[in-house]
Amino acid sequence: MRAGRAAMEPAGETVAERLDQLIPRLAGQERRAAVHLRAHYPVAGLDSLARASRAAGTSSQTVLRLVGKLGFASYRAMQERIRAELSVGTQTPLGRLAAARARREGGEDWLATFGRTAAGNVAAAFEGVVRAEFEAAAALLADRRRHVLVIGGRFTQALARLLVRQLSVVRAEVEEVGSLTATWADRLIDVGRRTTVVVFDVRRYQPDVVGFAAAAAGQGAAVVLVTDAAGAPAARHATHVLLAPVEGIGAWDSLTALLALTEALVARATDLLGDQADERLARLEQLRARLDPGSGGPGPSDLG
């Protein structure tokens, strides 16, 4: 029996890669279960069948049908594959690089696989994000009575900076915390119930960023966490959590889905600001014209 099960299980591919290939061909409840598993990978796949089904909003039988379509003989077999991925180090840059090299030696179209993985991450993030969480987070960013602070980790600081630069075009009181930890206490001292703190933190989660989130929450701030897993350490301090998968096919995690989710947050906050954003943009154009009389007025890249 064990040999028969092994023969069914996909060799050389992670469960995430199988999901990326399968999701476009699914519909209905099976697609919903697959999107949930991909958006919360690998944590959701290691949960019990009953809890995973409830979290996805589907039945256990739907999840089991999905498992079969992924090529596994049982839910436990899929979990064993995920645990094996983790145990051999696929969650570290060195482990992922070795896995990518092995696939190249197998003759894969590397660029097509990379693009498919990135596109799968974006699709999973947008289909799996809890709409109420997204809307509540966007509403906090659009509330001009609230001061907004944004912080990121070693690589996600770039996303934090992008959010600050875009959002500050359409509203005031938006600031980046920055990467100089010696100044973080200076930023925290004025944090309170009228503050929204946006935190970007993905594996391997940074203790200092988690500490900032904890301190901000302790002082009454609303904390919006953008991360890759529901079990991220900062999640226990967050008011709202937005998830996006970061799986890549080489040594590097992919921030593509996190970037898309960040852009969606800014776009939705701008929509919610309505006339207030329009008025601010009009004033901004007047200032630009004064500073650069030859600019010729607004153009298509003014928000770029």
**For residue 90, is it within any domain?**
yes
Q: Grade residue 67 by pLDDT with cuts at 50, 70 and 90.
A: very high
Looking at residue 203, what is its pLDDT? 86
- Containing structural domain, residue 236: 131-273
**Considering its fold, how many domains does the chain have in total?**
2
Q: Tell me which DSSP letter residue 264 carries.
A: H
**For residue 288, is it within any domain?**
no
Looking at residue 200, what is its pLDDT? 98
Looking at residue 5, what is its pLDDT? 40
Q: Which residue has the higher pLDDT, 70 or 20?
A: 70
**For residue 255, is it within any domain?**
yes
**For residue 290, is it within any domain?**
no
Provide the H-helix boundaries in the chain. 2-8, 15-22, 28-39, 43-46, 49-56, 60-69, 75-87, 93-105, 110-128, 131-142, 157-170, 184-188, 207-218, 256-273, 275-291
Looking at residue 277, what is its pLDDT? 94
C-alpha 223/C-alpha 221 separation (Å) is: 6
- Which residue in the block uniquely carries the two structure tokens 């690589």? 155
102 in Cβ contact with 88 (< 8 Å): no
Question: Would the pLDDT of 197 be above 80?
Answer: yes
C-alpha 156/C-alpha 172 separation (Å) is: 23
The candidate with the shortest Cα–Cα distance to 5, out of 52, 73, 69, 57, is 73
Looking at the structure, tell me whether residues 109 and 149 fall in a common domain: no
**For residue 62, is it within any domain?**
yes
Q: Which of residues 128, 156, 187 is at a domain's end? A: 128
Looking at the structure, tell me whether residues 144 and 265 fall in a common domain: yes
100 in Cβ contact with 250 (< 8 Å): yes
